[in-house]
Amino acid sequence: MTTPGTLRVERVGVTVSGRDLVREASLEVAPGEVVALVGPNGAGKSTLLRTLYRARRPTSGRVLLDGEDVWRMGGRRLARRLAAVMQETPGEFELTGYEVVAMGRSPYKRAFQGDDAGDRKIITDALAALDVTGLARAPFDRLSGGEKQRVLIARALAQQTGTIVLDEPTNHLDLRHQLDALRLVRGLGVTAVIALHDLNLAAAFCDRICVMDAGRVVADGPPARVLTPGLLAEVYEVDAEVTIHPGTGIPQINVLPGLPLSGSGGSASPQPGHEGSTAP
């Protein structure tokens, strides 16, 4: 595992077909910090994440890893420092679960170089960590959505980078495997940015929560500071109670179904820069 990196997003904008998907988004993630990227559908979370691992070039601004523009780095060098788990499953291909995870070792090899004993241990350990050892010989294209997701997270783990970006990694996973996957990422000690829809999971496993709405970063800080009834009303248009669990101190969100917005929760105000980024 390489040293955790410092990831900095500087005033990134992404425009596609005349539509601004991301608007001057800024974010800084310190070494070893785990940050959740949250927001309603269409907020720009996935688009912003794609700029981090070079799947989408920003129209403006830049993304820096340890002070270096990721778009100026060679692909192999970047892949040794940053791994990505994308929301979209790769197209159907005739590989086994083991072979997909083994792709995580590619940045460290010459063309057509086989796996050595060290590679094989890393691959088998990654399979075991995601509870998919039994899928090692299974055709990847025949796996369920949840099984594919765990194999892809195992591939990122086998890549052994110090920084990891995950776009909705808990999609398709049952409750136990959602918790297992996030515990694993949390325990790696890497720098991580994770797009999540489940705000309770974000509060439980992340040091900070960065909220996006309409392509902009509208709040950034510790979960207890960011997840307020006012923000939930403004960004998600729901009425909700936010309580603090007496044992863990973690905020818990309970949406109040069927009730009109109270309009009394206040509003979420943008937090410029890196203010309030210390974990609670």
Three-class DSSP labels, 54-78: CCCCCCEEEEEECCEEHHHCCHHHH
Residue 173 burial class via C-beta count within 10 angstroms: exposed 0-12, middle 13-18, buried 19 and up: buried
Determine the 3-state secondary structure of 84 from DSSP.
Answer: strand
For residue 116, the model assigns a pLDDT of 86
pLDDT digits 0-9 by tens, 247-258: 889 999 999 887
Residue 185 pLDDT class (50, 70, 90 cuts): very high
- pLDDT at 226 > cutoff 90: yes
User: Model's pTM, two decimal places?
Assistant: 0.87
Residue 114 pLDDT class (50, 70, 90 cuts): confident
Domain range list for the chain? 93-157
Q: How far apart are CA 6 and CA 150, in angstroms?
A: 26
For residue 115, the model assigns a pLDDT of 80
For residue 112, the model assigns a pLDDT of 74
The residue-averaged pLDDT of 221-226 equals: 96
Residue 247 DSSP symbol: T
Amino acid at 217: V
For residue 279, the model assigns a pLDDT of 35
Contacts with 275 (C-beta within 8 Å, 6 or more apart), sequence order: 220, 221
Q: How far apart are CA 148 and CA 97, in angstroms?
A: 8
Rounded to a whole number of angstroms, the distance between the first and last alpha carbons of the chain is 27
pLDDT digits 0-9 by tens, 115-130: 889 999 999 999 999 9
The residue-averaged pLDDT of 222-233 equals: 95
Residues above pLDDT 90, as percent of the chain: 81
The residue-averaged pLDDT of 29-35 equals: 98
- pLDDT at 232 > cutoff 70: yes
- pLDDT at 27 > cutoff 60: yes
